[in-house]
Amino acid sequence: MSLHEEVNKRKTFAIISHPDAGKTTLTERLLLFGNLIRSAGTVKGKKSGKYATSDWMEIEKQRGISVTSSVMNFPYKDYQVNILDTPGHEDFSEDTYRTLTAVDSVVMIIDATKGIEAQTKKLFKVCRMRGIPIFTFINKLDREGREPLELLEEIEEVLDIETYPMNWPAGMGKRFLGIFDRNDKQFVQFNGNGEETYISYTDLDKPEHRELVSKEAYQLAEDELLLLDEAGDGFSSESVLNGEQTPVFFGSALAPFGVETFFDTFISMAPAPNPRKSTAGVVQPDSADFSGFIFKIQANMNPAHRDRVAFLRICSGKFERGMNVKLARTNKAIKLAQTQQFVASSRDTVEEAYAGDIIGIYDPNVYRIGDTLIEGKKQFEYDELPQFPPELFKKVSAKNVMKAKQFRKGIEQLVQEGAIQLYKDHRSEFNILGAVGELQYEVFQHRMKNEYNVEVMFESIGERIPRWLKDDKIDKSLFDERNILVKDREDNYVVLFKNDFSLKWFQDKHPKIELIDLLEVN
Ligand code: G4P
């Protein structure tokens, strides 16, 4: 198979959802399709004390390794699938955002009974800003949920994206009959036993389907479908690939129902690895020389194992174990001998991989997040990874003042590595750490102690809304403890607003001061 063919069969995507929307259940279904597990429930089941393969956090904790997002890869039909997990709730961290820089598309799961929830919205904003194609799976149709039209309206309004329902549900909960598959022009009947019956539109008026079509839920759905055909947005694959329209699928990950159809359609529509921007122009994924960038570094939480793994997204060419590459930042040569590929819960040594794939490489403490690795004579770096706005802020200091030197060294290195963000109070030079989630503080504290032998103390200044100032000639007396003025690592001024109200009040009062929301510019 040619390099071009190998690269083009790669589908690399992340699944995003609010906790409990069904990400684990759906991921497990996909692993089943990939023959990575034999039956549903073998890896899943919080109640049985087991966990899904994608819930790596627990597994890694047991092994004494910290992990914040994981990778699963497997062949499916003619494709090679790479799924990147994006943990939610307390495990949410900057890594979750950064994972989105390493994928070519995203699957968003929404719980039909709940609609869009806060966390989904944040991740979604990053996808929109970066133009990542988004495919939506509305889950839990086997439960009484919200009206499908209302859900679509909410997606369009809250997330500011066009929707195109690929299928349309007839009823839900106890009245759930199945879905109209608009793509293949067939009705997929829900039998409740995990099996699906496909009835082509042309066969629906046959006598054996009279009972089905006379049901109220069926007729209502048919009317709605007519409405969508006439008044809804038309399907545009161009808009989908630009991230301006999201194809929407309805189904149930648990039943399961509509999952296979969803996955087949998704996988055929999802983009193959994209060309990437670099300092030497756009790099094509099927260009001969290997290149990639590091989007995550995973430090081992276990002091007995100091090794770290850097997650590399291959952006061009072919990787072969043992190959020589160079680290663009330092121009140093590196032999990539110790590499891992992530196949569900086991880690295998990877011998070869192609653009689009994600591999883990052993990090002898030389890599930083955003680093570019390249093969051959060319010299370039991939675009810097965007900064993502932290939400939780804490003042940090060393418990023992005698440890000031190690403290400084530790902070400097962990910040450089991208584990956490550092700010300085513009007056007191006090160190303020910023993180997207609490987990980042835990990891920071742990690593400071284990790697730098410093115990740290935090003083929370709570959740804050950070806004970068466009102009650094600013009247500093406008800020106080309520709205704190700090400097980031690049010496840019940032205001940590106490809450939404303070932010709005400030904007109204000083309309000329331009405030930048990083989520809007990424
Ligand atoms: P997450 O990874 O997004 O957090 O969600 P997960 O798959 O763990 O699903 C959360 C709960 O929702 C689980 O209930 C799961 O069985 C259920 N669920 C997922 N998909 C569907 C669906 O299509 N229909 C219905 N009715 N339920 C679904 P659980 O195992 O009871 O776990 P928990 O509620 O005790 O956490």
Distance 55 CA to ligand 1 centre (A): 13
| Averaged pLDDT of the chain | 86
Q: How far apart are CA 99 and CA 296, in angstroms?
A: 8
Protein residue closest via CA to atom 19 of ligand 1:
22
Protein residue closest via CA to atom 34 of ligand 1:
20
pLDDT band at 46; cut points 50, 70, 90: very low
Q: Is the CB of 16 under 6 A from ligand 1?
A: no
Binding-site residue positions? 17-24, 85-89, 139-142
Half-sphere exposure of 483 (CA within 13 A, CB side): 22
Q: How far apart are CA 426 and CA 290, in angstroms?
A: 44
ipTM above 0.95, yes or no: yes
Q: Is the CB of 254 under 6 A from ligand 1?
A: yes
Binding-site residue positions for GTP? 17-24, 85-89, 139-142
Q: How far apart are CA 353 and CA 341, in angstroms?
A: 9
pLDDT for 121-133, tens place per residue?
888 888 888 899 9
Residue with tokens 């902070």: 411
Distance 25 CA to ligand 1 centre (A): 6
Protein residue closest via CA to atom 22 of ligand 1:
140
309 contacts 363 by C-beta, under 8 angstroms: yes
Reading the block at residue 275, the tokens are: 């060309």
Residue 360 pLDDT more than 90?
A: no
Q: Is the CB of 25 under 6 A from ligand 1?
A: yes
pTM of the predicted structure, to 2 decimals: 0.86
The confidence score (pLDDT) of residue 37 equals 57
Distance 264 CA to ligand 1 centre (A): 22
The DSSP annotation for 118-165 comes to HHHHHHHHHHHHHT--EEEEEE-TTS----HHHHHHHHHHHH--EEEE
Distance 105 CA to ligand 1 centre (A): 24
Residue 396 pLDDT more than 90?
A: yes
For residue 253, the ligand 1 atom closest to its alpha carbon is: 23
pLDDT for 192-241, tens place per residue?
887 889 999 999 999 999 999 999 999 999 999 999 999 888 999 999 99
Alpha helices in 134-271 (DSSP H): 148-159, 210-214, 216-231, 237-241, 259-269
| Mean pLDDT computed over 252-258 | 93
* Range in 83-92, 155-164, 372-381 with the lowest mean pLDDT: 83-92
The confidence score (pLDDT) of residue 521 equals 67
